[in-house]
Amino acid sequence: MTTQMFGAPIKRREDPRLVTGNGRYLDDLGQGALEAAFVRSPHAHARIVDIDVADAVDVDGVIAIYTHEDLPGKVGEPLPLLIPHPTLTHPRTGYALAKDEVNHVGEPVVMVIARDRYLAEDACQRIRVTYDTLPVVVGVDTARAAEALVHEDAPGNIAAHMVQEVGDVEAAMAGAPHTLSLDLAVERSACMPMEGKGVLARWDAEDGRLRIHSSTQTTTGVRAAVAAKLDLPLDRVDCIAPDVGGGFGVKIMHPWPEEVLVPWAARLLGHEVKWTEDRREHFISSAHERAQLQEVQVGFDDDGRLLALDVKFWHDNGAYTPYGIIVPIITSTQLLGPYKPGTYRCEFWSLYTNTVLVTPYRGAGRPQGCYAMERTMDAIAAYLGIDRAEVRSRNFIQPEEMPYDHGLLFQDGRPLKYDSGDFPASLAKLKDLVGWDDFADYRARAEAEGRRVGIGIGCYVEGTGVGPYEGGHVQVESSGRVNVATGLTTQGQGHQTVFAQIVAQELGVRIEDVHVTTGDTRKMGYAVGTFASRAAVMSGNAIALAARSVRAKALRIAGEALEVSPADLEIVDGVVRVAGSPSTSIDLSTVAVLSNPLRYAFDDAARAATQFAGTFDPDKPPVAADDEPGLEGKDFYSPTQATFANGMHAAIVETDPVTAEITILRYCVIHDCGKMINPMIVEGQVHGGVAQGVGGALYERMVYDDSGQLLNASFMDFLMPYASEVPHIETDHLETPSPLNSLGLKGAGEAGCIPVTAVIASAIEDAEGFPITSMPISPVELWELRLRHADGVATSPTPRKEPAR
Amino acid sequence: MKISGNATLVAPPEKVWDAFHDPGVLSRCLPGCESLTPIGEHEYTMTVTAGVAAIKGTYDGQVALRNQQHPASFTLSAKGAGAPGTVDADVLVRLAPTEGGGTELTYDADAAVGGVIGGVGQRMLAGVTKKMAGQFFNAVDDDIAGVRKPEPAVAGAPRAGAATSTAPGAVVAGVQVDQSFMRGAAFGALVALAGVVVGAAVRGRR
Amino acid sequence: MSETRTELLHDVTLRVNGVPRTASVPARRLLSDFLRHDVGLTGTHVGCEHGVCGACTVLVDGAPMRACLMFAVSARGHEITTVEGLGDAPDARPCATGEPMNPVQQAFTECHGLQCGYCTPGFLTTITAYLQENPHPTEGEAREAISGNLCRCTGYQNIVKSVLRAAEIRDERAGNHDDEGAGA
């Protein structure tokens, strides 16, 4: 009996281990290791004058204290610029330990190694660093004004300035019957995985090998970066991701200073060294994202069709740019969503501030782009008095126009060309799910009760599954066990389950026999990483290809052994048999033995294989010239472009007329990520994304003061949603398979969070009747807006000229 | 690595000079000193229990006082290698009289430090060194004033009161990392820079 | 002149998952670190060290407490239950792959109540204690019961479902306490 594995919501194979307390996260490892702690800059911008460690050496159990001067060669050079770009004209990266100056609160200055973390922190507290403070730049406005510079050699605090244009926007705008302008703002938030970063390193002097465990999203990336910094051959460095307690993007950035310093110290001291960050460290020394100021100018006709879209935005990239300008590039391209803009121009400036780095956080710039576009759509609808869903649908790219080339380059440097999607169908499903057309009645009933409600909508398109490639390795052992490896990593997406589902399906084995390893460079040394909603598409397809090659080989060998044509064979539950005549069969485990012609009967499987020992052709070599021993296959998936998922959300919110408290009454999601390997897991990803979106819309912001101090660097003051803040999420889905890969997959990891800020803003605006332009929004801010609008102070989006009549 | 520092002693320069050139004073005041054996004019071999913070070991070293400019300055040279590290150092010591009849001692050291203790970080090494130098000079000053520490035991045996803990700790580069090293080890800076030679007496616990 | 001082150590003995455990630790040793590093039970996780996220929640004499806000010395003489001990409960049963699971653990695996698993131990202990007091919560009550624990992965939807399913399993197992299966 074959169970259909692909597409089945089977329970996760990693769960029994994790719910019984048998997870192995970074800090669970290396119990005998020395531990590191850091002295981090308390100033946002300062020159380092002196570092006095005299009192720290008294601390019992301190092994070593390092500053930048101790870092030799490449270790002391700036950290790498991972993703250069021609428009990133003034890139800057930091040093592993600050050299001469610090550019954000939290930048590491001194590393202490001690017998345990308590003692290391004791020593850190006794180290006195003397600084000369310098002028501080915080916030996009201050950066833009550039009265002070973060980096002397980055004039205007501009790291990058990029313009993309399709069509003649100026002409189209001039000729448009109507135009509107919007000024929008999004504030900083951050990934905040429940487990912070951590590194454990071990230098084996006998083998000359460095083994690094890191709570990372890219073990191949960390391995390569550390090998380069420490001048070690790549094949002498292993990097393994243990169980990782969430990433959401912050762990794709690499190498973190600690990822370089801890291995370096481990080798120098000849002892395992471990570092796990505490929560405050994570706030002030990992990465944030989201902050942008945006100006949109849009030209449209009487029906609300876009004619010209001119977007400018200023992106806060923090003190350094190690991840390049991926986030604003994604904003500028994904902003377009499911619409045809007519003509489009997007100009952005990526600006330095004396704050923590900005690297991708789930959505990676898409939420900001979606926000700009969707607020614009709402403004057009309000201006023309047309239903907001209707305006959107008039601008949709239609299914028959797929594939649709926007004429821009996506974050992977390849064409922004949507492969498939049925936006009208998605919208119809959403309207049905939320009851869009019935809302007017609902609102009337609510108003009769003295309640204030509103409905919001947001649509997005998400480029997923970016390359360059991922690999899959599938191997059948003589016991029947199937080992599967892929190089990218896992942070809760259930890879041990979904990849096993693919292999079980493709190979015809029981899923219980399939064991998946991710994120271990020893098992698969070629990989990119887990980000950009790419794992299912990239590794899923690579693993499928590998499994298929194993299947083909198994059928060939089985065919020879059974003396039938491979075309007549099927594999069911790990048994290769003649379709329709199942008694003629051979176990896959036996095939594995036969594939490796040693013919030693070292176990039962090998003994069983000996009955087939006579069925070979004496004129052929045991291992053919173009073949290899073993029942295994390795393959890579490398697409020409990303594949584009899409979704639409709607929310009904209630605002309290007196207190301005905001409650989400209903939240509805339509998502289309093509075919789904495990719908339960996809839905879980959507739920998590929506929760982060709710956090970003209503609760989460990084509060910096003018001197660059992060005022809310703890969970007490940085408000992430508990269960009480996340509404019940209603989902439905569409499947427009991707034509770009044989499994029809599109990515789904980031989907849930992309439109939420736009949707909530839309709903609050609908409830209140005035524009919401700055998010997140708190009850206090809503209340103040109400006062301003009551006074007639604040204005609606500005029409540039009189509507044509 | 260059380390400089200074100390103010109560005793006048001539007495300080004499103290440094008296092997009895050195063996009493150099903390962790287990034996001091003259092998020539102002040249000694020495066994000390030494280390930097938690990295402890026993070292055999050779120390010589050269370039004597009585009573104003001399150079102390030290060379050695051992399990926890290697040192090759020259320290210029200057003694100047103060108004109150005491001595302003300044030292400028030029040292190459390698091995495990060389891997603990420059500022740590410098910090420990200066701290221990201060302790040594204070001990010399006290000794001159008649406050005496007990003579070291027979060469080779652990000195009474020296830090000898058997508390388990990490093993760093094959060297036992001992938490109690610093306790009771008023260790002269000169010895930290000096006296490490590969010796059979290294008590490396692997 | 400052001298190195070794911290004064205190002998701490407490029962963890029914087993007496002893270690010598400084007074400032957090219970979370004691459990993880001195006792070697790494199932309890540390997410914030300031008592907000709840990942470190253990049961102290049956009541959920933040282990990061307690000192090991103050837990002396008390009965601690960590996630590793939940499978010892009388209503624990082996799951399909053999691990003994209490109803809450079983429910989480059935309802996809975890993704990365880092916050999960804190939820499991919290909900186990909650259902002792409130064996039949409504969905709203279930949601409120878990609103002191942070999860960044799941959006809580399936955790709420897990609470309700756990209540069901508790009832099922209470009704069948004579059946086969390795009752703890």
Computed over every residue of chain C, the mean pLDDT equals 93
How far CA A671 is from CA of A138, A265, A648, B204, in Å, comes to 37, 47, 6, 65
Q: Report the share of chain A in percent with pLDDT over 70.
A: 96
Whether pLDDT at B188 is above 70? no
Note whether A19 contacts C124, CB cutoff 8 Å.
yes
The CATH number for A111's domain is 3.90.1170.50
Rounded Cα–Cα distance for residues C176 and C184 (Å): 14
Q: How far apart are CA A447 and CA A464, in angstroms?
A: 42
Residues A476, A459: one domain?
no
Distance from CA of B71 to the nearest CA of C (A): 29
CA of B195 vs chain A CAs: smallest distance (Å): 21
Q: Give CATH 3.10.20.30 domain extents, chain C.
A: 9-84
Residue A194 contacts residue C55 (beta carbons within 8 Å): yes
Task: State how far the Cα of A318 lies from the Cα of A92, in Å rounded to an integer.
Answer: 11
Instruction: Provide, for chain A, the percentages of residues in helix, strand and coil under a 3-state DSSP scheme, each rounded to the nearest 5.
Output: 30, 25, 40
| pLDDT recorded at residue B51 | 65
Calpha distance A90→A160 (Å, rounded): 6
pLDDT digits 0-9 by tens, B83-108: 677 778 899 999 999 998 999 999 99
Among chain C residues, CA nearest to B54: C4
Alpha-helical segments (H) within A54-210: 117-125, 140-145, 169-174
Tell me what the mean pLDDT of segment C105-121 comes to. 98
Position B60 confidence tier, pLDDT thresholds 50, 70, 90: confident
- When pLDDT is averaged across residues A584-589 and rounded to a whole number, the result is 93
pLDDT band at residue B180, thresholds of 50, 70 and 90?
A: very low
CA-CA distance, B3 to B52, in Å (whole number)?
15
Same domain (yes/no): A626, A753: no
For residue A616, what pLDDT band results from cuts at 50, 70 and 90? low
**Where are the CATH 1.10.150.120 domain residues in chain C?**
87-174
Report d(CA C156, CA C48) in Å as an integer.
Answer: 19
Q: Which of residues 6-45 of C touch B (CB under 8 A)?
A: 6
Average pLDDT over residues A238-260: 98
Cβ–Cβ gap B119/A271 under 8 Å? no
Q: How far apart are CA B74 and CA B64, in angstroms?
A: 10
Q: Residue C177 above 80 pLDDT?
A: no
Alpha-carbon gap, residue A79 to A81, rounded angstroms: 7
Chain A residue numbers with beta carbons less than 8 Å from the beta carbon of C154 are 684, 687-688, 691
Q: How many A-C residue pairs are in contact by the CB < 8 A criterion?
A: 189
User: Token pair for residue C180?
Assistant: 């086969």
Clarify whether residues A609 and A644 are in a common domain.
Answer: no
Q: How far apart are CA A613 and CA A598, in angstroms?
A: 11
Cα C177 from Cα B69, distance rounded (Å): 94
Which one, of A457, A430, A454, lies nearest residue A443 by Cα? A454
- Chain A contact present for B7, CB below 8 A: no
Q: Residue B203 has what pLDDT?
A: 30
pLDDT over threshold 80, residue B165 = no
Give the pLDDT mean for A449-478. 96
Name the average pLDDT for chain A. 94
Give a yes or no: residue A296 inside a domain: no
Touching subunits for chain B (3+ Cβ pairs under 8 A): A, C
Q: How far is CA A492 from the centre of its chain?
A: 12
In chain C, the percentage of residues whose pLDDT exceeds 90 is 90
pLDDT of B122: 87
**Same structural domain, A593 and A717:** no
pLDDT in tens, C14-65: 999 999 999 999 999 999 999 999 999 999 999 999 999 999 999 999 999 9
A514 in Cβ contact with A528 (< 8 Å) = no
B172 and A34 within 8 Å at the Cβ level: the answer is: yes
Between CA A137 and CA A139, with CA A138 as vertex, the angle to 5 degrees is 125
CA distance A50 to A71: 17
Q: Contact at 8 Å (CB) between B128 and B7?
A: no
User: In this complex, which of B135, B138, B183 lies closest to C4 when CB atoms are compared?
Assistant: B183
State the pLDDT at residue A304: 97
CA distances from B29 to B149, B156, C17 (A): 7, 17, 55
Quick one: average pLDDT of A414-432? 95
pLDDT of residue B84: 73
Do A514 and A593 fall into the same domain?
yes
Q: Is residue A118 a contact partner of residue C32, using CB atoms and an 8 Å limit? A: no
Is the domain of A546 the same as that of A656? no
**A88-145 residue pLDDT tens:** 999 999 999 999 999 999 999 999 999 999 999 999 999 999 999 999 999 999 999 9
Q: Which pLDDT score is estimated for A683?
A: 96
Domain CATH number, residue A480:
3.30.365.10
Q: Do the Cβ atoms of A359 and A249 come closer than 8 Å?
A: yes
- In this prediction, residue B154 has a pLDDT band, given cuts at 50, 70 and 90, of very low
**Could A271 and B172 be called an inter-chain contact, meaning their C-beta atoms sit closer than 8 Å?**
yes
Q: Give the burial string for C105-140 (b: 16+ CB within 10 Å, else e).
A: bbbbbbbbbbbbbbbbbbbbbbbbbbbeeeeebeee
Domain boundary among A603, A637, A671: A637
- The CATH number of C87-174 is 1.10.150.120
Number of domains in chain A: 3
A76: three-class secondary structure by DSSP: helix
For residue B155, pLDDT over 80 is answered with: no
Please indicate, yes or no, if residue A338 is contained in any of the structural domains. no
- Model pLDDT for residues A207-234, shown as the tens digit of each residue: 999 999 999 999 999 999 999 999 999 9
pLDDT (mean) for A369-374? 97
Contacts of C105 in chain A (CB under 8 A): 19-20
Tokens of A731: 């989902």
Using the Cβ of B168 and the Cβ atoms of chain C, whether some distance falls under 8 Å is answered with no
Domain end, chosen from A570, A605, A637, is at A637
Residue A575 lies in a domain: yes
Quote the Cα angle for B135-B99-B2, to 5°: 40
CA angle A579, A582, A585 (to 5 degrees): 100
Same domain? For A646 and A605 the reply is: no
Between A and B, how many CB-CB pairs are < 8 A? 79
Q: Tell me how long chain C is.
A: 184
pLDDT in tens, B100-138: 899 999 999 998 887 777 788 888 888 878 877 888 888
Q: How many residues comprise chain A?
A: 805
Domain that holds residue A107: 32-134+197-244+251-285
**Residue B26 pLDDT grade (very low, low, confident, very high; cuts 50, 70, 90):** confident
**Burial label, A400 (beta-carbon count in 10 A; 0-12, 13-18, 19+):** exposed
Q: Is the pLDDT of residue A461 over 70?
A: yes
> Nearest Cβ partner of C53 from A194, A494, A691?
A194
Lowest mean pLDDT, pick from A329-343, A398-412, A609-623, B42-56: A609-623
Position A151 pLDDT exceeds 60: yes
- pLDDT at residue C183, rounded to an integer: 43
pLDDT of residue C3 exceeding 70: no
Residue A622 — very low, low, confident or very high, per pLDDT cuts 50/70/90? confident
Both A669 and A738 in a single domain? yes
- Kindly tell me if the per-residue pLDDT of B148 is higher than 90: no
% of chain A residues with pLDDT over 90: 90
pLDDT at A299 over 80: yes
Question: Which H or E run includes B93?
Answer: strand B86-97
Q: Is the peptide bond before B71 cis (omega within 30 degrees of 0)?
A: yes
- Residues B120-150 as b/e (b if ≥16 CB within 10 A, e otherwise) read bbbbbbbbbbbbbbbbbbbbbbbbbeeeebe
Q: Chains that contact A by 3+ CB pairs under 8 Å?
A: B, C
- Alpha-carbon distance of A207 to A736, in angstroms, equals 51
Which residue type is seen at C87? G
Assigned domain for A733 exists:
yes
pLDDT digits (tens, 9 = 90+) for C66-89: 999 999 999 999 999 999 999 999
Q: Measure CA B40 to chain center.
A: 19
A 653-712 residues with CB < 8 A to C: 680-681, 684-692
Average pLDDT of the segment spanning A331-337 = 95
Residues 6+ apart with CB under 8 A from A235: none
pLDDT attached to residue C86:
98
Name all chains with 3 or more CB-CB pairs below 8 Å to chain C: A, B
CB pair distance less than 8 Å for A69 and B122: yes
One domain for residues A40 and A128: yes
How many CA atoms within 13 Å lie on the side-chain side of B58? 19
Report CA torsion sign: C115, C117, C122, C126.
Answer: positive
Is A298 domain-assigned?
no
- Based on the domain organization, do A125 and A225 belong to the same domain? yes
The amino acid sitting at A298 is: V
Give the 3-state DSSP-derived string for A692-760, with helices as H, strands as E and coil as C. Answer: HHHHHHHCCCCCECCCCCECCCCCCCCCCCCCCCCCCEEEEEECCCCCCCCCCECCCCCHHHCCHHHHH
pLDDT value of residue B164:
36
Higher pLDDT, A689 or B172: A689
Cα–Cα distance for residue pair B150/A153, rounded to 1 Å:
63
Contact A64 B131 (CB under 8 A): no
Quick one: residue A630, left, alpha or beta (phi over 0 = left, psi -120 to 50 = alpha)? left
pLDDT at B199 over 50: no
Q: Which letter does DSSP use for residue A169 in this model? A: H
* Chain C residue nearest residue B133, CA to CA: C1
Whether residue A523 sits in one domain with residue A599: yes
pLDDT class of B194 with cuts at 50, 70, 90: very low
pLDDT band at residue A480 using 50, 70 and 90 as cut-offs: very high
Question: Is the confidence at residue A385, as pLDDT, over 70?
Answer: yes
Handedness of CA A537, A542, A543, A549 (dihedral sign): positive
- The C-alpha atoms of residue A360 and residue A345 are separated, in whole angstroms, by 23
Domain at C9-84, CATH from 2.60.120.650, 3.10.180.10, 3.40.50.280, 3.10.20.30: 3.10.20.30
B180 touches chain C (CB under 8 A): yes
Residue A75 at interface with chain C, using a CB cutoff of 8 Å: no
Residue A697 and residue A738 in one domain? yes
Per-residue pLDDT at A79 exceeds 70 = yes
* Domain termination site, one of A637, A655, A670: A637
Q: Which of C157, C158, C161, C165 to mutate to test the interface with A (most CBs of A within 10 A)?
A: C157
Q: So what's the pLDDT on residue B171?
A: 59
- The whole-angstrom separation of Cα A676 and Cα A595 is 33
| Full-model pTM | 0.89
The stretch A731-737 carries a mean pLDDT of 94
The predicted structure's pLDDT at residue C63 = 97
Question: Do the chains contact at B182 and A58, CB–CB below 8 Å?
Answer: yes
Separation in Å, CA of B1 to nearest CA in chain A: 11
pLDDT at B152: 53
CA B54 from centroid of its chain's CA atoms: 16
